[in-house]
A and B are shown apart, each in its own frame.
Chain A
């Protein structure tokens, strides 16, 4: 029985996630509608997403709209807390390479949890290609969590590698890298977040820093490279 319920939930989640964006039929949100879908399933009613009434369906929300509606805290508390973390890591691990690794790991841990909130609040459904994914990260993701807008540039020919450029980065206020920390990627937590979040939507990526204002560049530039798309595990197809 327990397994059955879990399968139903998996089916529901997978159906929601794989619904084509152009059809825009489902929204991945924890509103009453999802709840009554679940209860309908549990009582044995056939799950038929296509013929559900569409009255409550809304399109993807803009990053600004989401940021305006979520609870917020002062960015300085965030910035200084992050600084305290980096300093603790530098004291504990001593080697900047180890610190870079640990920051990336922490970001990854955040990413795999953050994606749930992102999908629930943004109403973004499956992206048609990696180009759209990158745009959504830059325009919706960064705005909704950090309140800043990023842009996407430098696409390669086959559309699997691009740069996300940040002009404004709340992590680095009040920060200056001392001589002893020149190898440090201070914001490495961000690249981990992106990698972790994308992994949860079946995309293996490699995220590296190309430019960093703390290292004297004029901008922050993150290169996101799509390594492979992991095929979905469940054989559910919503359009059959």
Chain B
């Protein structure tokens, strides 16, 4: 059949073939959209904690889908079952696909066994954002923290994930650290599985 741009119609979105995920849009299109997300949520809350929680919720929904998508496309339908495995999946695969690069660093907390940190010198969502003084510690990285929590939770690693600014010497802008604190059960299971 000859037709202009005729696409095969699928009755179900799950029947569609997965594309390779190489399409791009302009960074400004994303920045404009993200800014609307933040502004809309600002109208729905009366404090910073609530605003961060809402951004995190939005991110969580993205994370849960990213896990599904990437497990199918990049990992031959396998999900990670070990702590370090899933962390490096987030730090490398997820970051690479979403932000075009591997995260700057992945570290284990020195004080607490259950804490891990992913740091980024200039997080994409914070790039065009400056926080007014009266909004204190608010960090748009909450959205990315939500994505991380969405991925971890859906993979069976429940955790509390938060985003923080960490000032860096000699740099005008602070870096963003995503702090991951795993639930107790995750560490118990990890210990049982052994090294």
Asked whether any CB of chain A lies closer than 8 Å to the CB of B29, the reply is yes
A77 touches B99 (CB 8 A): yes
Q: Are A174 and B62 in contact (CB under 8 A)?
A: no
Chain A residue with minimal CB distance to B124? A73
Question: Is B26 within 8 A of A106, CB to CB?
Answer: no
Kindly identify, within residues 61 to 78 of chain B, every residue whose CB is under 8 Å from any CB belonging to chain A.
61-62, 65-66, 69
Interface size on A, residues (CB 8 A): 40
Q: Are B54 and A88 in contact (CB under 8 A)?
A: yes
Query: In the assembly, what is the distance between CA of A102 and CA of B43, in Å?
Result: 12
Known: A84-B61, A110-B36, A167-B5. A78 touches B44 (CB 8 A): no
- A57-76 vs B, CB cutoff 8 Å, 1 = contact: the mask equals 00000000001001111111
Does B23 interact with chain A (Cβ within 8 Å)? Answer: yes
Q: Does the CB pair A67–B26 fall under 8 Å?
A: yes
The answer on a CB contact under 8 Å between B24 and A74 is yes
Please indicate which of the listed interface residues A84, A109, A114, A145 has the most CB atoms of chain B within 10 Å of its own CB. Answer: A84
Partner among B9, B27, B65 whose Cβ is within 8 Å of the Cβ of A71: B27
Question: Which residues of chain B come closer than 8 Å to A73, judged between CB atoms?
Answer: 24-27, 30, 99-100, 124
The reply on A117 being an interface residue by CB < 8 A is yes
Per the bound structure, the CA–CA distance linking A67 and B28 in Å amounts to 11
Residues of chain A within 8 A (CB-CB) of B7 are 167, 218
A98 in contact (CB, < 8 A): no
Instruction: Provide the bound-state CA to CA distance between A92 and B69, in Å.
Output: 27
Contact A72–B25 (Cβ < 8 Å): yes
Q: Is the CB of A147 within 8 A of B25?
A: yes
24 A-B pairs (CB sep. < 8 Å): A72-B25, A72-B27, A73-B30, A75-B25, A76-B21, A77-B62, A78-B25, A80-B62, A80-B65, A83-B65, A84-B59, A85-B58, A88-B40, A88-B58, A110-B36, A144-B26, A147-B23, A147-B24, A147-B25, A174-B13, A174-B65, A176-B12, A218-B6, A219-B5
Chain B interfacial positions (CB closer than 8 Å to A): 5-7, 9, 12-13, 19, 21, 23-30, 32-34, 36-37, 39-41, 44, 54, 57-59, 61-62, 65-66, 69, 97-100, 124
Which residues from chain A sit less than 8 Å from chain B, CB to CB?
67, 70-78, 80-85, 87-89, 92, 102, 106, 109-110, 113-114, 117, 144-147, 167, 170, 173-176, 189, 218-219
Known: A72-B25, A74-B98, A88-B57. 13 other contacts (CB 8 A): A71-B28, A72-B27, A73-B30, A76-B21, A77-B98, A81-B30, A81-B62, A84-B58, A88-B37, A92-B44, A114-B32, A167-B7, A176-B12
